[in-house]
Amino acid sequence: MSVRLEDRAIVALSGPEARSFLQGLTTNDVELLSVQKPLYAALLTPQGKILFDFFLFQQGDTVLLDAVSTQREALLKRLSLYRLRAKVDIAPRDDLAVIAGWPGSEWGQSDPRLAAMGSRAICALAEAPPANTAAYHDHRLALGVPEGNDFRQDHIFALDAGLDELHAISFTKGCYVGQELTARMKHRGTARKRLLPVEGTMLTRDGSIVGGDGKSIGEIEAVFGTRGFALVRLDRLAETAGQPLTANGQAVRVIRPTWLALAS
């Protein structure tokens, strides 16, 4: 199944310093980017919290960023703010579309986050398959993969969001915005929260998840019908093992995806 994602938009960076510009800003190693190898990355605050996450694709001498459409204008402004005198042209590309495919799709390259996510590509809008964004989100929610607005802006640390396990962070590339705190959290093991999938019949954003002892273990951050994501304290989750969990008085279930390594 291959679908066009209507909630994604493209930003193009071109010019002789486009790659080095991104290398100094984003969490992943842009030197690894090639036509055959897209990357998943994020732009953080200096304090290490996620502002934007996106995919990077190489197209000739241009780097294309596949980002949440509702965040594109803010992303363009942030990139322009950092550009200063760098020889980089930054522009929206509404003639292009983002394609996701699963399983066994012929479109594009493997999704760099997780093999089970399938494939991802950017193509001309006129050549794109029909849109079915809902089917894509059903697929990623079934795998427990957060993205985009699930993180909210300037709210969640990159490691708490699972961006390490989703291959969005390089710990060998050198400096980028937010690198110092992200590296410190990694090497000291101080990431005590995780953005985990939740299920329940009456989920509401910002709903506190409570254990059987009345103690809050986390907050719901994103809701898609009966599924969503919650930022959960791992120590408190361990303490409530076997206990019923509720949010706004309704039963909820916190899920540990198989791809996410959880420290206790």
Condensed to tens digits (0 to 9), the pLDDT of residues 162-196 reads 999 999 999 999 899 999 999 999 988 767 899 99
Domain annotation covers residue 138: yes
Q: Output the pLDDT for position 262.
A: 66
Q: How many domains does the chain have?
A: 2
Domain annotation covers residue 185: no
Find the domain containing 140 and state its range.
2-150
Q: Output the pLDDT for position 242.
A: 84
Query: Do 104 and 220 sit in the same domain of this protein?
Result: no
pLDDT tens string 72-95:
999 999 999 999 989 999 999 999
Residue 233 φ then ψ, to 5°: -75, 120
Please check whether residue 246 is in contact with residue 202, taking contact to mean a CB–CB distance below 8 angstroms: no
CATH number reported for the structural domain that contains residue 133 in this entry = 3.30.1360.120
Q: Output the pLDDT for position 171.
A: 96
Domain annotation covers residue 156: no
Query: Do 129 and 221 sit in the same domain of this protein?
Result: no
Query: Do 20 and 137 sit in the same domain of this protein?
Result: yes
The low-confidence residues of the chain, meaning pLDDT below 50, are 264
Query: Do 28 and 134 sit in the same domain of this protein?
Result: yes
Q: Output the pLDDT for position 104.
A: 64
Domain annotation covers residue 160: no
Query: Do 139 and 30 sit in the same domain of this protein?
Result: yes
Domain annotation covers residue 218: yes
Query: Do 144 and 196 sit in the same domain of this protein?
Result: no
Residue 64 CA: distances (Å) to CA of 9, 103, 182: 10, 24, 25
Domain annotation covers residue 180: no
Query: Do 131 and 237 sit in the same domain of this protein?
Result: no
Predicted structure pTM score: 0.95
Q: Output the pLDDT for position 261.
A: 72
Q: Are strands 208-210 and 216-224 parallel, antiparallel or unpaired?
A: antiparallel
Query: Do 114 and 196 sit in the same domain of this protein?
Result: no
